Each structure stands twice: as C-alpha cells, then as structure tokens.
Structure 1
Amino acid sequence: MSDLRDLYQEVIFDHYRKPRNFHAIANANHVAHGHNRLCGDELTVYLRLDGDVIKDVSFEGAGCAISTASASLMTEALKNRNVKEAEHLFEEFHHLVTHDDAEPAPDLGKLEVLAGVREFPARVKCATLAWHTLQAALKDRATPVTTEQVSIQDSTMDQENAGARQEATVDEEALRQDIIAVLRTIYDPEISVNIFDLGLIYTLDIDPEGNVQIEMTLTAPACPVAGTFPDVVEGRVAEVPGVKSVHVELVWEPPWSMDSMSDEVKLELGLL
C-alpha cells in the first residue's frame, strides 16, 4: 500500500471519528441542506459571513465516512477565506476528485489526500456533497440540494409518475443508483453492515424496460435466512419507482470473504 493511500485512510478515519466543526452556528447568516440519495448522506452547512469573508463555518448531519470527513476537512479549509477564494477552492477540489490525472493544487492543503477517492468512483458524490451544499448556502438556495442537483422532494416519485416511467425506456444509470440506495438500507442478518457495501451483491443488471436481475450471496451457506432473504431483497427493490420486475438469485460462487467489503466499511470496522 502506497504512502498516499495510507495517509488517505488515516485522514478519513480521523475526521470521520472526530469531525471538526460539527455543530450548528446560532448566528449563521447562510444555511443549506444537502442529500446524497445514493449513499444516504444528509448534512446541513452553516456559514457566518462578515462582508464576503467566511468568519465561521460548520456542519451537522449523518453520512458515510468519506462524506463526513470531506465536510470536516472543508470547514477547516474555509475559515477566514473570502467567497471568491471558497468558490475557487471548490473548483480545484472538484477537479481533483473527478480527474484521474489531476495534480493537487498547492492551496488545497490537507484536502489533497481526498484524491484517493478517485479509486472508488461511486464515492465521488459522497466526497463532493458538502461542497455542493456550501455553494447552495453561499447562494441562499432554499431548496435542499443533492449531488444529482435535484431536491429531496423530487427524489421520490408518486405512483402515477412511476407508472409513466415504466411505460417508457428507463434511465438505467439513474435507476441503478436508486436501487443501490435501497440495497444500502438492507442489512445483513449476521453482520451489522448493509448488503451492498458488505459485498453481497455480485451482479446488478437492468434492461431498458426496467427489468432487474440481481445475483447475490450471503456471508455463509449455513445462514438461517438463506431461504427467505432473497425474497426480502426482491420485495424492497420492486418498490423502487421505474422497476418493472425483479429477480434475485442466491449464489455461492465465489464464496464471500472480508475482501469483498468496500474499503470504507473496512475502515469503519477498524480492519484497515
């Protein structure tokens, strides 16, 4: 493991366990709320500006290790910067985590270790959520923002809209993210980790009509819920707007191991 990856994990773990500036600001004059539906991260960013200078900044909420650590590092980096500098820092940070060949800008400071998130593309939205919420706070947007740039209120469609979506060709990538978000709310019966980040989902295939095929496993063949758990997963995924049908197949090859877990889960469980 490279020194940079070691530092990435060390910083993420530190700021996740002990987030800086994790509180509300009573006299904040700019506030915004953010939500990442893919991972379930939710946070609120508070700013107190004096003119165009950020005199104080903080956040509250609940999220994954990367989302929390990114928000914590962001608040440390922003204090006493002016609005123009904050916006420039956002641009530099966003470029760093979304371009594989990007070199860290000198003024990013500790934020440069988050370049490691590029190894986990699904986690880039977790790392940028706080920054999108910061932008919303600076612009006094009242509507909650997400990494997909839609409001929380619009993230769940009613049954009428869901039926209309099923009749048309679905947006497979958007539907995949919705399904993954649901899978992250289903927990393994033996290990207190969601089945997606635990690595129990081997394949997730979606066709243009919204038919979903999932291959999954369990942590052990002798798991007492082996006969019923796939039905639980099927039922939950079937409720996702845009899903026309869903079939979950339980497989045992390759066998599950702790290596199947995401690095973030390993970090949270103290295995890294």
Structure 2
Amino acid sequence: MSFNNLDTLYRQVIMDHYKNPRNRGSLEEDTVQIQMNNPTCGDRIELSLKVEDGKVTDAKFEGEGCSISMSSASMMTQAIKGQEIETALELANIFSDMMQGKEYDDSIDLGDIEALQGVSKFPARIKCATLAWKAMEKGLKEQN
C-alpha cells in the first residue's frame, strides 16, 4: 500500500473513532475516576476505569477535544479493556514511544492505535494524543 493510501486509511480510522467513539460514557460504582485536561488546546477527559483482580474490566470516557484527543481516548479504552494492569501500562509505554518517534515493540498488535503514529510528526498535537493515556496511567498507578 502506498504512503498516500496508508495516510488516507489512518485518517479514516481516526475520524471514525472521533465521530463514533467507543466506550463513551461513565462508570459509576467502584471505579477509578481520573480527570485531566490539556490547557494548551482545551482538551479535557474524564476517564472511568473499573479494576477487578488486577485487570481493567471496563473503561469509559467523557470529554471534549479535537479529533486526535477524542479518537485516542476511544482507541485506548478499547485496547485496555480486559487487560492486566501491567499490560495496560505497557501499552501506554509503547504508545508514548510511538508518539516520540522512538522504536517500539511492534510484536504487540496495536490495532487502530497505529493510525495515530503520524501524530509524532506534529509536536503540538502529541499532548492531544497522549492525554487519555496519561489519565489511564495515573489512575492505574494510584490503584496499585
């Protein structure tokens, strides 16, 4: 697949998650609640995580922001549901490396998350993409 076709596909994936977010909403009982914002651009997220027996059994988010921020939150909640805490945190590390343009463990299937790798070329947008991931890391580390 040519670079232009791949770029178009990635944009379509990002816009699909933005227009049709997965796991939008909030969880009520026995959940970790994390609120974060990016004052530079106004993105904000309220992340709800349900953690049972060392696993993220459910994840939802509410918030406002650009397509990168909201699609990243949608992708992240999909990726961590059902994962052990350690695996979710490892995914956050891989995502951080990807956003910084570093080599990352590509043996792990990132699914739709790979569509965000082009954001690394736009330093001003990296904080948009990482907001939900930082919230998840904070919540899970406080949970442990």
Give the alignment's TM-score, normalised by structure 2: 0.90
Residue matched to 2:88: 86
Whole-Å separation in 1 of the counterparts to 2:104 and 2:54:
29
Partner of 2:16: 14
2:144 is aligned with 1:133: no
Inter-CA distance 77–7: structure 2 relative to 1 (3 Å threshold): same
Contact 1:32 1:46 in 2 (8 A): yes
Aligned length: 140
Encode CA deviations 1:201-237: one digit per residue, 9 max, x unaligned: xxxxxxxxxxxxxxxxxxxxxxxxxxxxxxxxxxxxx
User: Residue 93 of structure 1: SS of its match in structure 2?
Assistant: helix
Question: 2:94·2:104 contact (CA, 8 Å) conserved in 1?
Answer: no
Larger helix proportion, structure 1 or 2?
2
Q: Distance in 2 between matches of 1:28 and 1:123?
A: 33
TM-score for the superposition, normalised by structure 1: 0.49
User: What corresponds to 2:126 in structure 1?
Assistant: 124
- The answer as to whether partners of 2:35 and 2:47 remain within 8 angstroms in 1 is yes
Q: Quick check: 1:28–1:46 contact (8 Å CA) kept in 2?
A: no
Alignment partner, residue 62 of structure 2 = 60
Aligned to 1:202: none
Alpha carbons 1:96, 1:104 under 8 Å: kept: no
RMSD: 1.6
Return the alpha-carbon distance in structure 2 between the equivalents of residues 43 and 86 of structure 1.
18
| 1:109 CA drift (Å) | 2.0
Tell me the CA shift for residue 135 of structure 1: 1.1
Q: Report the equivalent of 1:71.
A: 73
- In structure 1, what is the Cα distance between the partners aligned to 2:85 and 2:104? 23
Contact kept in structure 1, 2:97 and 2:104, CA below 8 Å: no
**Fraction of identical pairs, as percent:** 39
1:31–1:140 contact (8 Å) kept in structure 2: no
* Larger Rg, first or second structure (1 or 2): 1
Structure 2 matches for 1:23-34, cutoff 5 A? 23-34=25-36
Matches within 5 A, 1:152-231: none
Structure 1 distance, partners of 2:9, 2:122, is 16
Does residue 102 of structure 1 match 2:103? yes
64-73 or 3-12, which moves further after superposition?
3-12
CA distance in 1, matches of 2:18, 2:88: 22
Give the deviation of 1:103 after TM superposition: 5.5
Q: Alpha carbons of 1:28 and 1:117: their partners in 2 closer, same or farther (altered >3 Å)? A: farther
Provide closer, same or farther for how the CA distance between residues 138 and 66 of structure 1 changes in structure 2, counting only shifts above 3 A.
same
Q: Distance in 2 between matches of 1:86 and 1:28?
A: 19
Amino acid at match of 2:38: N
Deviation at 1:31, TM superposition (A): 1.0
Q: Please give the per-residue CA displacement for 1:137-160, whole angstroms capped at 9, x wherever unaligned.
A: 11338xxxxxxxxxxxxxxxxxxx
Does the residue aligned with 1:8 lie in a helix, a strand or coil?
Answer: helix
1:50 alignment counterpart? 52
* Larger RCO, structure (CA 8 Å, separation 6 or more): 2
1:27 alignment partner, SS class: coil
Gapped runs of 5+ residues in structure 2? Answer: none
Q: CA deviation at 1:32?
A: 0.6
Instruction: State the distance in 2 between where 1:115 and 1:90 align.
Output: 13
Moved over 2 A (4+): 101-104
